[in-house]
Amino acid sequence: MVTAPAQPVAGDGIDWGLHGTWHWRGLACHWRVLGDPAHPPLLLLHGFAASSGHWRHNVAGLVASGWCVYGLDLIGFGASDQPALPLDNRLWARQSTAFLQQVVQRPAVLLGHSLGGLVALTTAVFSPAWVRAVAAVPLPDPSLVMAVPRRRPPWRRRLQRLLVQVLCRLLPLELVVPLIARTPLLDLGLQSAYNQPVIGDAELRRLFARPARRATAAWSLRGMSIGMALRPRGATAEALLARLVQPLLLIWGEADRLVPIEVGELIARLRPDLQLERLEGVGHCPHDEAPEAFEALLLSWLERLDAEPQEAGT
């Protein structure tokens, strides 16, 4: 079910687009859209702790280039529900697929930032009929730098599950999350993702602080910690990259301190057919830190995609 969207918000701010609420598996999911519905759809998937508003500097240019731009707040983030459930890229991929089926109702190009890039990749592999191509900015996953056993004995899996759940439940997240959201710790965390100074960007701070101040924020962080730690190998980026059939673009900031460019180079060795673009002097958020250079790379790649409409399969 989709509720009636609110009035559109003009400009490049974090409240861009027509907003709506879509209900999936009993959870309220916030989404937004801007552009001509007749134009090809582009679904934006945000990164960790962010929301669809983080694409604030990109939507106007994408719409002007002929795309109908959708933004989805992943479960646990933004204005979507924050349930006390295990959360991982498989669940978010199912959410994204259902959104394409029920709201967009057409296959789309997926553009994901950081965690959103992993979700976009997972969606493309799990539901290839609904994804035309994937762009990740960048693509993080510990599996890319740490070996994940192909098979583990049942006792070891049970022990790992028990240890992860106990440790995550012992973490005082109900105290830590509000502390970070209401103090300069949040500013320091944001600055670590950017190469250029962003402390003092009130809009950016509000984008991250607002969801973290909700009473249920700690539930979702704990659920994500458990879910991502206990994923099977088939849900890791390395395994997913081996199964991907759609075109893949990576855009990476060469000054990314959170996920270094060397990870992108490793992915390029795994998939020599992908396109890896670098942005000099840019950190972990190229779309927000250098939007013009980012859009030039993205739009050039989008123009080369097959322009023929594709029908969804079953």
Q: Are the beta carbons of 65 and 208 closer than 8 angstroms? A: no
Q: Using CA atoms, how far apart are residues 22 and 43, in angstroms rounded to an integer?
A: 15
The pLDDT tens digits along the chain (314 residues) read 555 454 455 456 999 999 999 999 999 999 999 999 999 999 999 999 999 999 999 999 999 999 999 999 999 999 999 998 889 999 999 999 999 999 999 999 999 999 999 999 999 999 999 999 999 999 999 878 665 556 666 756 665 665 656 565 656 567 777 878 889 999 999 999 999 999 999 999 999 999 999 999 988 888 888 888 888 889 999 999 999 999 999 999 999 999 999 999 999 998 999 999 999 999 999 999 999 999 999 999 999 986 554 544 43
- CA-based end-to-end distance of the chain: 21
- In degrees rounded to 5, what are phi and psi of residue 299? -65, -35
Q: What is the per-residue pLDDT for 314?
A: 38
Beta-sheet pairing, 68-72 with 41-45: parallel
Topology given in CATH for the domain delimited by 18-304: Rossmann fold (3.40.50)
Give the DSSP H or E segment for 42. Answer: strand 41-45
Q: Are the beta carbons of 246 and 219 closer than 8 angstroms? A: no
Give the DSSP per-residue string, 94-154.
HHHHHHIIIII-S-EEEEE-THHHHHHHHHHHH-GGGEEEEEESS---GGGTS---S---H
Q: What is the per-residue pLDDT for 6?
A: 47
Q: Measuring CA to CA, which residue among 28, 20, 16 is closest to residue 52?
A: 16
Give the DSSP per-residue string, 138-171.
S---GGGTS---S---HHHHHHHHHHHHHHHHHS
**Per residue in 81-112, pLDDT tens?**
999 888 999 999 999 999 999 999 999 999 99
Q: Using CA atoms, how far apart are residues 177 and 168, in angstroms rounded to an integer?
A: 14
Q: What is the per-residue pLDDT for 43?
A: 98
Q: How far is CA 41 from CA 111, 177, 201, 306, in A?
A: 11, 35, 30, 13
Q: Using CA atoms, how far apart are residues 52 and 43, in angstroms rounded to an integer?
A: 10
Burial class (CB in 10 A: 0-12, 13-18, 19+), 263: buried
Q: What is the SS3 assignment for 293? A: helix
- Cα angle value 280/264/91 (rounded, 5°): 120
Q: What is the per-residue pLDDT for 289?
A: 98
Q: What is the SS3 assignment for 41? A: strand
Q: Is the pTM of this model over 0.85?
A: yes
Q: What is the per-residue pLDDT for 10?
A: 45
Q: Using CA atoms, how far apart are residues 293 and 136, in angstroms rounded to an integer?
A: 15
DSSP state of 214: S
